[in-house]
């Protein structure tokens, strides 16, 4: 009973005429064929299928030219809301000089990537890498293709390359005015080898990048045609509902499948588990509803292992205790901070605590897999398709060349879809079946089996001199992970190089282990580290009796050891000016400021971001974030300012939801929260105004923009709360705090 789109549409034209009332609106709008053509699919609605036809010519693995000049770009990144198909295409087309209105984009093949010796270089979508890591080789691919197309035209006309120009995919022989289109010379170009690779443009030469470009991704997203992983449908496909051990690292003791085997549509009950696969049981049926309802009735007994009584409260106690324990790893040691602290005119001390957080995207986790003796197919939205392929190979023993990862559009990733646990589980389930199976996680399962942003406890002690400026700084962080990482970047980034002028410093950390899985969460460490760092700076400013903006400014200005100090000041000033910092505000309203950059240990690029939150708190303690003014360093260019702005907005929303109400807590070894009622997203009614102020503060390209603003949401909001109420927030979420300052 599967209908093609064509049938649907024809059918619609006939049948809607009989439908009245509320549907008049849909019918009264005139059909506009020009616009429809402009919106024709430029991205395949089944993203794993190629748009490229037989008569089109691949110039290099990144791009294909059709006889009618249509250019198809291969995108080696996953799309989950960043508009990466548009940005990726722009980076190539900046050099290609083709007609942008004829550009289409599709996923690069993961299978081919492996068969052809990593031809797409890097397919992971994480670490703000899409532009930072890929831009130059994408520009190079575009430039190289352009030069080969030009060389082909020169050959056709037997003229020198230097007599040719190109614009919008039309090559002109300047002396004679003759013209050739890309589509006419593509085949010839494919055979041409360049004597040397052309130079690529520098940012000041960009004509396509740095300008807002409407998103290629949009049309598919307004008519239901885009296929997310959860929408995959295959002939003969079964559906599975899975339940993993509620206590992490537990095991299946036994289950009684006779209770559900005869229920409608049920095909099988299978077990899964093993290294990096949380053990559990799945019911396989002819529809998800049948599978899910049967799973709900399946009696399962679990072996909870040793963690069945663990609680997040207990983890917190452990971390607090670790603050006093010896043997911490020292990251920064400068001068004699203990002595300076003793001699200081004033001492300020604070301990900050943060909960586990889930990623809470809209598309529940899912993966579809088909496993046969000599071939594996996986349909999934993943941020790491290469690892998905390797995992599938390991689990099935099928050679890599015969494994196909069909990447899908993703209904939000935020770091969670780096993990591929959904892939491993689905492959293991599919191995036990002779048909493709789509495994869909319920919302509850998605929430309760995350790879959470880790809990943290951090202590700061600072000594201030007689002028109120810090002379000593002692900071210890306790990182809590399931598997303490060899590289503790998440725990230390941002804190490892405090930008403010402080002569005596000590920064060290302990790592502690619990059984709760942890992973990266957009901003990778910054949403925690910046909360306490920039809150504590605010505490120091207030202790010194100084304006928090001016206090930071003075400490940056005075820091000759920090190479980015000047750029920071520019961004800080922009945020302060644009937000109206210092202006008189109504009673109960206040502002908080925070600044930082996206520095990662071992990466030279940064993105500086400063946020001013304008907040109001009623006497009863009702909080409203009125506005965020976000000053964002662009460096010399942004690939697509339109997408960049939206990425910043998304981070404000994500950060604010976490600040207000989100926390994952552990009771009896398992996650308490389950769905949007106890893990709430930000609602439309709570949406602040968000003003993004782009500012060119540095000459070097920035590190990225998709996760470089989130860190400053929490401190700016909490600093504003202090400005209004005098209450210092040292733990989140705010729902656990009473912000009231009196009756009324």
Partner 1 sequence: MFSLRINGKTYSVDVEPETPLLWVLRDTIGLTGTKFGCGMALCGACTVHVNGQAVRSCVQPVSQVVGKVITTIEGLSPDAQHPLQIAWREGDVPECGYCQPGQIMAAAALLAKNPNPTDADITREITNLCRCGTYPRIRQAIHRAAQLAAKA
Judging by DSSP bridges, how do beta strands 504-513 and 329-334 pair with one another? antiparallel
Distance (Å, whole) CA 495 – CA 477: 9
Give the nearer residue to partner 1 in terms of CB position, either 419 or 725: 419
Give the nearer residue to partner 1 in terms of CB position, either 131 or 697: 131
Look at residue 531 and give the partner it binds from partner 1, ligand FES, none, a contact being a CB closer than 5 to 8 Å depending on partner kind.
none
Contact between 81 and partner 1 per CB under 8 A: yes
User: Can you tell me whether residue 672 is helix, strand or coil?
Assistant: coil
Least spacing, CB of residue 665 vs partner 1, in Å: 19
Give the nearer residue to partner 1 in terms of CB position, either 138 or 291: 291
Which parts of 367-396 interact with partner 1 (CB under 8 A)?
Answer: none
Contact between 229 and ligand FES per CB under 6 A: no
The region of 126-134, 213-221, 555-563, 716-724 touching partner 1 under the rule CB under 8 A is 213-221
Which parts of 238-267 interact with partner 1 (CB under 8 A)?
Answer: 239, 264
Distance (Å, whole) CA 2 – CA 129: 39
Least spacing, CB of residue 36 vs partner 1, in Å: 6
**CA distances from residue 67 to 44, 96, 97, 172, 287 in whole angstroms, order as listed:** 19, 16, 16, 18, 44
HSE-CB at 421 with a 13 A cutoff on CA atoms is 24
Look at residue 254 and give the partner it binds from partner 1, ligand FES, none, a contact being a CB closer than 5 to 8 Å depending on partner kind.
none
Look at residue 15 and give the partner it binds from partner 1, ligand FES, none, a contact being a CB closer than 5 to 8 Å depending on partner kind.
partner 1
Question: Of 636, 575, 568, 605, which is closest to residue 704 (Cα–Cα)?
Answer: 605
Give the nearer residue to ligand FES in terms of CB position, either 79 or 387: 79
Least spacing, CB of residue 67 vs partner 1, in Å: 27
Contact between 61 and ligand FES per CB under 6 A: no
Sequence-ordered alpha helix ranges (H) in 29-103: 33-38, 84-96
Look at residue 299 and give the partner it binds from partner 1, ligand FES, none, a contact being a CB closer than 5 to 8 Å depending on partner kind.
none
Contact between 35 and partner 1 per CB under 8 A: yes
Contact between 652 and partner 1 per CB under 8 A: yes
Question: Of 139, 123, 51, 148, which is closest to residue 87 (Cα–Cα)?
Answer: 139
User: Can you tell me whether residue 508 is helix, strand or coil?
Assistant: strand
DSSP, res 688: P
Phi, psi of 402 (to 5 degrees): -105, 20
Question: Of 223, 433, 471, 249, which is closest to residue 340 (Cα–Cα)?
Answer: 471
Least spacing, CB of residue 652 vs ligand FES, in Å: 14
Contact between 687 and ligand FES per CB under 6 A: no
Asked if 176 and 165 count as a contact pair (C-beta separation under 8 A), the reply is no
Question: Of 715, 505, 501, 711, which is closest to residue 608 (Cα–Cα)?
Answer: 711
Look at residue 26 and give the partner it binds from ligand FES, partner 1, none, a contact being a CB closer than 5 to 8 Å depending on partner kind.
partner 1
- For the stretch 540-545, contacts whose Cβ atoms lie closer than 8 Å and that sit 24 or more positions apart, written own/partner, are 540/348, 540/462, 540/464, 540/470, 542/722, 543/346, 543/348, 543/464, 543/468, 544/346, 544/464, 544/467, 544/468, 544/469, 545/468
Which parts of 387-446 interact with ligand FES (CB under 6 A)?
Answer: 412
Distance (Å, whole) CA 510 – CA 519: 17
Contact between 680 and ligand FES per CB under 6 A: no
Instruction: Please pick, from the candidates 71, 108, 110, 230, the single residue that binds partner 1 as defined by CB under 8 A.
Output: 230
Instruction: Please pick, from the candidates 310, 363, 377, 534, the single residue that binds partner 1 as defined by CB under 8 A.
Output: 363
x/- binding map, residues 540-579, to partner 1, per CB under 8 A?
----------------------------------------
* Residue 495 neighbours by CB under 8 Å, 6+ apart: 331, 475, 477, 507, 529, 533
The region of 97-105, 163-171, 315-323, 357-365 touching partner 1 under the rule CB under 8 A is 357-365
CB burial of 296-310 (b: ≥16 within 10 Å; e: otherwise) equals eebebebebeebeeb
Instruction: Please pick, from the candidates 89, 134, 184, 227, the single residue that binds partner 1 as defined by CB under 8 A.
Output: 227
Contact between 465 and ligand FES per CB under 6 A: no
Judging by DSSP bridges, how do beta strands 670-671 and 608-617 pair with one another? unpaired
The region of 51-59, 466-474, 679-687, 694-702 touching partner 1 under the rule CB under 8 A is 679-687
Instruction: Please pick, from the candidates 262, 483, 560, 685, the single residue that binds partner 1 as defined by CB under 8 A.
Output: 685
SS3 of 26-40: HHHCCCCHHHHHHCC
Look at residue 39 and give the partner it binds from partner 1, ligand FES, none, a contact being a CB closer than 5 to 8 Å depending on partner kind.
partner 1
Contact between 23 and partner 1 per CB under 8 A: yes
The region of 4-12, 53-61, 476-484, 700-708 touching partner 1 under the rule CB under 8 A is 4-12
Asked if 67 and 56 count as a contact pair (C-beta separation under 8 A), the reply is yes
Longest dimension (CA), the chain: 88
Compute how many residues bind partner 1; rule: CB under 8 A: 81
Give the nearer residue to ligand FES in terms of CB position, either 81 or 733: 81
Instruction: Please pick, from the candidates 111, 419, 442, 475, the single residue that binds partner 1 as defined by CB under 8 A.
Output: 442
x/- binding map, residues 274-293, to partner 1, per CB under 8 A?
-------------xxx----
Least spacing, CB of residue 45 vs partner 1, in Å: 10
* Residue 82 neighbours by CB under 8 Å, 6+ apart: 130, 643, 647, 706
Instruction: Please pick, from the candidates 165, 167, 174, 214, the single residue that binds partner 1 as defined by CB under 8 A.
Output: 214
Least spacing, CB of residue 713 vs ligand FES, in Å: 18
Give the nearer residue to partner 1 in terms of CB position, either 111 or 368: 368
Rg (C-alpha) for the chain, rounded Å, is 28
Contact between 31 and partner 1 per CB under 8 A: yes
Least spacing, CB of residue 495 vs ligand FES, in Å: 31
Least spacing, CB of residue 251 vs partner 1, in Å: 27
Contact between 75 and partner 1 per CB under 8 A: no
Contact between 677 and partner 1 per CB under 8 A: yes
Instruction: Please pick, from the candidates 202, 676, 735, 736, the single residue that binds partner 1 as defined by CB under 8 A.
Output: 676
Look at residue 297 and give the partner it binds from partner 1, ligand FES, none, a contact being a CB closer than 5 to 8 Å depending on partner kind.
none
Contact between 622 and partner 1 per CB under 8 A: no
Give the nearer residue to partner 1 in terms of CB position, either 364 or 484: 364
Distance (Å, whole) CA 618 – CA 623: 7
Compute how many residues bind ligand FES; rule: CB under 6 A: 3
CA 504 to chain centre: 36
E-strand stretches of 603-665: 608-617, 623-633
Give the nearer residue to ligand FES in terms of CB position, either 412 or 485: 412
As given in the structure block, the two tokens for residue 255 are 């289950």
Which parts of 310-369 interact with ligand FES (CB under 6 A)?
Answer: 362
**CA distances from residue 120 to 107, 451, 575 in whole angstroms, order as listed:** 11, 28, 39
Place of tokens 């992973």: 519
Residue nearest to ligand FES (CB): 362
Place of tokens 């064509």: 6
Instruction: Please pick, from the candidates 44, 47, 81, 499, the single residue that binds ligand FES as defined by CB under 6 A.
Output: 81
Look at residue 198 and give the partner it binds from partner 1, ligand FES, none, a contact being a CB closer than 5 to 8 Å depending on partner kind.
none
Q: Which residues pair with 440 in a beta bridge?
A: 241, 366
Give the nearer residue to ligand FES in terms of CB position, either 360 or 612: 360
Give the nearer residue to partner 1 in terms of CB position, either 479 or 733: 733
* Residue 532 neighbours by CB under 8 Å, 6+ apart: 350, 352, 456, 458, 460, 715
Judging by DSSP bridges, how do beta strands 71-75 and 103-107 pair with one another? parallel
**Residues that bind ligand FES in the complex, under the rule CB under 6 A:** 81, 362, 412
């Amino acid at each position: 009973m599967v209908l093609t789109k064509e049938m649907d549409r024809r059918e619609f034209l006939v049948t809607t005429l009989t439908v009245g009332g509320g549907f008049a609106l849909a019918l009264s709008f005139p059909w506009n064929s020009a616009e429809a053509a402009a919106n024709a699919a430029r991205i395949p609605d089944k993203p794993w299928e190629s748009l490229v036809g037989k008569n089109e010519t691949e110039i290099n693995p990144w791009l294909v030219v059709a006889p009618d000049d249509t250019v198809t770009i291969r995108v080696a990144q996953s799309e989950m809301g960043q508009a990466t198909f548009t940005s990726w295409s722009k980076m190539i087309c900046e050099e290609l000089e083709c007609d942008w209105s004829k550009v289409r984009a599709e996923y690069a093949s993961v299978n081919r990537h492996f068969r052809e010796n990593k031809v797409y270089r890097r397919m992971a979508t994480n670490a703000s890498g899409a532009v930072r890591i890929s831009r130059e080789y994408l520009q190079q691919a575009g430039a190289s293709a352009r030069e080969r197309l030009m060389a082909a035209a020169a050959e056709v006309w037997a003229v020198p390359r230097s007599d040719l120009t190109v614009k919008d995919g039309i090559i002109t022989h300047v002396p004679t005015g003759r013209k050739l289109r890309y589509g006419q010379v593509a085949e010839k170009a494919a055979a041409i080898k360049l004597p040397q690779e052309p130079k690529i443009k520098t940012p000041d030469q960009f004509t396509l990048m740095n300008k807002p470009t409407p998103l290629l991704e949009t049309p598919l997203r307004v008519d239901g045609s885009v296929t997310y992983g959860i929408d995959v449908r295959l002939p003969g496909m079964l559906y599975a509902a899975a339940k993993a051990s509620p206590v992490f690292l537990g095991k299946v003791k036994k289950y009684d499948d006779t209770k559900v085997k005869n229920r409608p549509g049920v095909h099988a009950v299978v077990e899964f588990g093993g290294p990096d696969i949380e053990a559990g049981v799945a019911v396989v049926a002819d529809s998800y509803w049948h599978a899910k309802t049967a799973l709900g009735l399946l009696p399962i007994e679990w072996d909870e292992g040793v963690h069945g009584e663990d609680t997040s409260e207990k983890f917190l106690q452990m971390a607090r205790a670790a603050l006093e324990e010896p043997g911490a790893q020292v990251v920064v040691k400068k001068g004699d901070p203990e002595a300076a602290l003793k001699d200081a005119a004033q001492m300020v001390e604070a301990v900050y605590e943060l909960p586990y957080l889930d990623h809470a995207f809209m598309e529940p986790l899912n993966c579809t897999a088909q496993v046969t003796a000599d071939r594996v197919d996986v349909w999934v939205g993943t941020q790491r398709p290469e690892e998905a392929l390797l995992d599938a190979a390991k689990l099935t023993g099928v050679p890599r060349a015969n494994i196909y990862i069909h990447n899908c559009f993703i209904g939000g990733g935020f770091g969670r879809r780096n993990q591929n646990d959904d892939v491993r589980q689905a492959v293991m389930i599919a191995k036990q079946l002779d048909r493709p199976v789509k495994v869909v996680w319920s919302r509850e399962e998605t929430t309760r089996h995350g790879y959470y942003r880790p809990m943290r406890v951090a202590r700061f002690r600072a000594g201030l001199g007689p002028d109120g400026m810090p002379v000593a700084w002692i900071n210890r962080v306790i990182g809590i992970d399931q598997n303490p990482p060899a590289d503790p970047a998440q725990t230390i980034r941002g804190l490892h190089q405090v930008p403010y002028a402080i002569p005596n410093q000590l920064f060290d950390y302990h790592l502690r282990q619990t059984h709760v899985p942890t992973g990266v969460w957009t901003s990778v460490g910054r949403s925690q580290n910046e909360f306490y760092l920039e809150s504590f700076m605010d505490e120091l400013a207030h202790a010194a009796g100084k304006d928090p903006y001016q206090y930071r400014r003075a400490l940056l200005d005075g820091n000759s050891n920090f190479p980015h100090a000047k750029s920071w000041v520019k961004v800080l000033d922009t945020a302060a000016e644009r937000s109206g910092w210092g202006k008189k505000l109504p009673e109960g309203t206040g502002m908080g400021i925070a600044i930082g950059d996206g520095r990662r240990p071992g990466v030279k690029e940064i993105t500086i971001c400063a946020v001013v939150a304008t907040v109001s708190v009623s006497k009863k303690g009702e909080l409203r974030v009125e506005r965020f003014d976000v000053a964002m360093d662009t460096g010399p260019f942004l690939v697509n300012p339109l997408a960049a702005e939206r990425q910043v907005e998304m981070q404000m929303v994500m950060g604010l939801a976490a600040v207000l109400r989100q926390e994952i807590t552990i009771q009896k070894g398992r996650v308490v929260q389950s769905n949007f009622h106890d893990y709430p997203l930000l609602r439309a009614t709570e949406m602040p105004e968000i003003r993004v102020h782009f500012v060119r503060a540095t000459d070097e390209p920035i590190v990225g923009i998709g996760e470089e603003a989130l860190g400053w949401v929490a401190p700016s909001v909490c600093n504003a709360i202090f400005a209004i109420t005098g209450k210092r927030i040292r733990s989140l979420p705010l729902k656990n705090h009473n912000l009231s300052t009196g009756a009324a």
